[in-house]
Structure 1
Amino acid sequence: METKKVAFYTLGCKLNFSETSTIARGFKDEGFERIDFSEKADIYVINTCSVTENADKRFKTIVKQTQKVNPDAFVAAIGCYAQLKPEELADVDGVDLVLGATEKFKITDYLNDLTKNDFGEIHSCEIEEADFYVGSYSIGDRTRAFLKVQDGCDYKCTYCTIPLARGISRSDTMDNVLKNAKEISAQGIKEIVLTGVNIGDYGKGEFGNKKHEHTFLDLVTELDKVEGIERLRISSIEPNLLKNETIELVSKSRAFVPHFHVPLQSGSNDILKKMKRRYMRELYVDRVSKIKEVMPHACIGVDVIVGFPGETEEHFLETYNFLNELDISYLHVFTYSERDNTEAAEMDGAVPKNIRAKRSKMLRGLSVKKRRAFYEQQIGTECTVLFEGENKEGYIHGFTENYVKIRTPWNPELVNTLHKVKLVKIDEDGLVRLEFTEAIVA
């Protein structure tokens, strides 16, 4: 019997990447061969995202691509958008199967018959049923691995569909996270990025209940002791859940790197209240100050949403000036888009699309300025770089522990190695050049 070929495409966040990778390993265990998405596969699996309008539109384009390569291929849609709008995805020409939040990890059970369907077949649960935890991590796709430690969210931010798409906050057990971390390390991967929907909430409902068996601080303390992992990076963490003890631990840590990504969403307290965020801007200033006090060289990334309903020009300028004065390193800018079944979609004061776009452009410009200033501060310093695996136009890229992106002429021997270097200058593309100061560290 001929081996069936499967290919995967992931939209959205690091958490989706970790889950795709785990689902792909499940296919391998069932005897499938994984190939690149551009190749001719028997099955294409698209892991969807519900955060932006753009991710919805891209889904249709990706399905069309599969039909061009192999019109007879079986196409399955899984993930957040598949949970929220299963009928919409099932109606897309070429889609055969749509699996919601609980079903996606059992996808191979639904593949007995790979004949194309006239209509997309839907298996999705009521989101209340998504109360169990499935651990996952990504390896093989990149130099670093994404390790999922938590899923779901109990927050009620008025713009967000994630609780509807992923259910309640629940966590992996400490033992399982440590086991997965050791498995990743055994593959020779040098860096692990901790990921989840709301990772600062780690410990909640480890076994489907609400008991806090362990806290996020317990988790990072134990992970720091795992031998063989050179680097650990915390992905996004809510400002109200980023405690001083965690910041202190990272500053003294063996493996955790001085890089934090802390969502802000708005620099206006009025808008933060409308968003039902769980902090005011004053707490955010306090978190940034604390990080910089114990790690002056730390990189701090910020999520911000522009064009939220009721955001006036004054509110926006409040956000712009707040971020301009804050000692941060870069921004991830999201243009607000209305999502069905959210409170914000019903609010008055919709901001015209052209104004949303203008504000977004202004903040993206500020991000470029901030990143440049942060890189300039790092010139002349010695640090460690982990090199990536891709040859991009004759260069190899990598990141320092504090997330400065560097490039140097391609050398295959550098792939997935850590080197001590000195940062010497910013090149014409805004990346940093280096001098090697020491042979391989790891």
Structure 2
Amino acid sequence: MERKKVAFYTLGCKLNFSETSTIARRFIDEGFDRVDFKSAADIYVINTCSVTENADKRFKTIVKQAQKINPGAFVVAVGCYAQLKPQELADVNGVDLVLGATEKFKITDYINDLTKNDYGEIHSCEIEEADFYVGSYSIGDRTRAFLKVQDGCDYKCTYCTIPLARGISRSDTLENVLKNAQEISEKGIKEIVLTGVNIGDYGKGEFGNKKHEHTFFELVTELDKVQGIERLRISSIEPNLLKNETIDFVATSHSFVPHFHIPLQSGSNTLLKLMRRRYLRELYQDRVHKIKTVMPNACIGVDVIVGFPGETDDLFLETYNFLNELNISYLHVFTYSERENTMAAEMEGVVPKNVRAKRSKMLRGLSAKKRRAFYESQIGNTLTVLFEGENKEGYIHGFTENYVKVKAPWNPDLVNTLHDVELTKIDDDGLVRFEFIHELV
């Protein structure tokens, strides 16, 4: 009998990518063949995101793409949007099955009959039931793997639906994280990116157990001992959970790289309080100063939201000026969008959408300036590059340990290898050229 084919499309964050990979491995274990999403498949699985309005809209487009390739294919929606708005997804023409937060990892149990449904069937729990933990990591066409260590969030930020979509904060066991890291290492992957919803909160057990079995610092120190992994990267960590002990450890670590991504959201204390963030700008400033003191060449990325309710011109300028003066490397700019069942959606002082767009453009411009300045500061330095696997218009790209993106003429022998290089100049496209020093691995 011919094996059935399954294809996957992932929207959103690194955490979603790691979970898609775990779901895909389940299908392969059950005798399915995984194919590219642009190929004909019997089943299309779409892992959804609900962080921005745009992600919601993109879902419908992706369903149409799948139907165009194979009108008779069985279409499944999983992920955050599937948990928050299952009926909305089930109503999209062509969707056959919608699985919520606890059901997505048991997906193959729900797929017995691939006959198209007249309407989308929903299996979705109350989010309070999402109190168990499923470990995940993603591998595939990448030179790096995303390793999930934590899920859910206990924070109550007024703009965020993630606690509603993913439930309470809970973590993988240290033993299982290390086992997964070892498996990744044995597949020849050189870099692991730690991922989760709130990874600095690592250590909270299952079933709402708030006792930390282990701390994030213990996780970091143990992962550093895993043989065969050249690089470990902390993807995103709350400033109030990034402690001095972790920063100091990364500075002298065998494999953790000098790259931090730290959400700020606003440079105005007034807005941080309205957002119910768990720090003020002074603490953020202190974290950046601490990192740059022990790792002067560290790359620091920042998440920031523009157009939050109550953000006047003066408060926006507070954020702009704060970021302009801060020794950071780039920004991820999010334009605020109203989400149902959040406190922010009910707040006064709604910022007009055209003003949100203008402010977003200003901060994206600042980000380009910051990235350029950071790249310029690295010219002449000797750094290590891990090369990626894709031929992009005759060039191979790679990243230094401190996240400078470099390019060289395509050479397949470089894929997934590490090399010492000297950065020489910034090209017209903003990427950095280099000269090889000697082969590392």
- Give the TM-score category using the shorter length: over 0.9
| 1:234 positional shift | 0.2
Pairing of 1:17-416 with structure 2 (within 5 A):
17-206=17-206, 208-416=208-416
Letter in 2 for 1:369: K
Letter in 2 for 1:193: V
Q: Distance in 1 between matches of 2:258 and 2:206?
A: 28
Cα deviation digits, residues 285-327 of structure 1 (max 9, x gap): 0000000000000000000000000100000000000000000
| 1:109 positional shift | 0.3
Cα deviation digits, residues 240-288 of structure 1 (max 9, x gap): 0000000000000000000000000000000000000000000000000
Cα contact 2:131–2:207 (8 A) shared by 1: no
Cα contact 2:131–2:206 (8 A) shared by 1: no
Cα contact 2:169–2:208 (8 A) shared by 1: no
Letter in 2 for 1:331: L
1:425 aligns with 2:425: yes
Cα deviation digits, residues 148-173 of structure 1 (max 9, x gap): 00000000000000000000000000
| 1:141 positional shift | 3.2
Higher mean C-alpha deviation, range 205-214 or range 231-240: 205-214
Higher mean C-alpha deviation, range 393-402 or range 202-211: 202-211
| 1:193 positional shift | 0.1
| 1:2 positional shift | 1.3
Q: Distance in 2 between matches of 1:153 and 1:142?
A: 28
Cα deviation digits, residues 364-397 of structure 1 (max 9, x gap): 0000000000000000000000000000000000
Cα contact 1:423–1:434 (8 A) shared by 2: yes
Q: Distance in 2 between matches of 1:50 and 1:339?
A: 9
Q: Distance in 2 between matches of 1:36 and 1:240?
A: 40
Letter in 1 for 2:434: L
| 3-state SS, counterpart of residue 89 of structure 1 | helix
RMSD of Structure 2 on Structure 1 (CA):
0.6
| 1:207 positional shift | 6.3
Q: Distance in 2 between matches of 1:92 and 1:114?
A: 18
Q: Distance in 1 between matches of 2:373 and 2:211?
A: 44
Letter in 2 for 1:281: R
Normalised by the size of structure 2, how large is the TM-score? 1.00
| 1:144 positional shift | 0.4
Q: Distance in 1 between matches of 2:110 and 2:328?
A: 47
Letter in 1 for 2:124: S
Cα contact 1:424–1:434 (8 A) shared by 2: yes
Letter in 1 for 2:87: E
Letter in 2 for 1:263: P
Cα contact 2:292–2:298 (8 A) shared by 1: yes
| 1:210 positional shift | 1.7
Q: Distance in 2 between matches of 1:326 and 1:167?
A: 34
Letter in 2 for 1:60: K
| 3-state SS, counterpart of residue 389 of structure 1 | coil
Cα contact 2:168–2:208 (8 A) shared by 1: no
| 3-state SS, counterpart of residue 92 of structure 1 | coil
| 1:209 positional shift | 1.7
Letter in 1 for 2:199: I
Is the alpha carbon distance of 1:230 and 1:207 closer, same or farther for their aligned partners in structure 2, counting shifts above 3 Å? Answer: farther
Unaligned runs of 5+ in 2: none
Cα deviation digits, residues 46-86 of structure 1 (max 9, x gap): 00001000000000000000110000000000000000000
| 3-state SS, counterpart of residue 56 of structure 1 | helix
Letter in 2 for 1:153: C
Q: Distance in 2 between matches of 1:142 and 1:334?
A: 26
- 1:12 aligned residue: 12
Higher mean C-alpha deviation, range 98-107 or range 135-144: 135-144
| 1:206 positional shift | 4.6
Q: Distance in 2 between matches of 1:141 and 1:48?
A: 21
Q: Distance in 2 between matches of 1:165 and 1:241?
A: 22
Cα contact 1:20–1:138 (8 A) shared by 2: yes
Task: List structure 1 runs of 4+ shifted beyond 6 angstroms.
Answer: none
Letter in 2 for 1:357: A
Q: Distance in 2 between matches of 1:438 and 1:258?
A: 22
| 1:211 positional shift | 1.6
Q: Distance in 1 between matches of 2:429 and 2:228?
A: 34
Q: Distance in 1 between matches of 2:196 and 2:162?
A: 11
Cα contact 1:146–1:194 (8 A) shared by 2: yes
**Count of residues in correspondence between the two structures:** 441
| 1:430 positional shift | 0.4
Q: Distance in 2 between matches of 1:280 and 1:317?
A: 17
Q: Distance in 2 between matches of 1:197 and 1:207?
A: 17
Cα contact 1:133–1:208 (8 A) shared by 2: no
| 3-state SS, counterpart of residue 315 of structure 1 | helix
Normalised by the size of structure 1, how large is the TM-score? 0.99
1:437 aligns with 2:437: yes
Q: Distance in 1 between matches of 2:100 and 2:209?
A: 22
Cα deviation digits, residues 110-161 of structure 1 (max 9, x gap): 0000000000000000000000000000011311000000000000000000
Letter in 2 for 1:420: D
Q: Distance in 2 between matches of 1:32 and 1:346?
A: 46
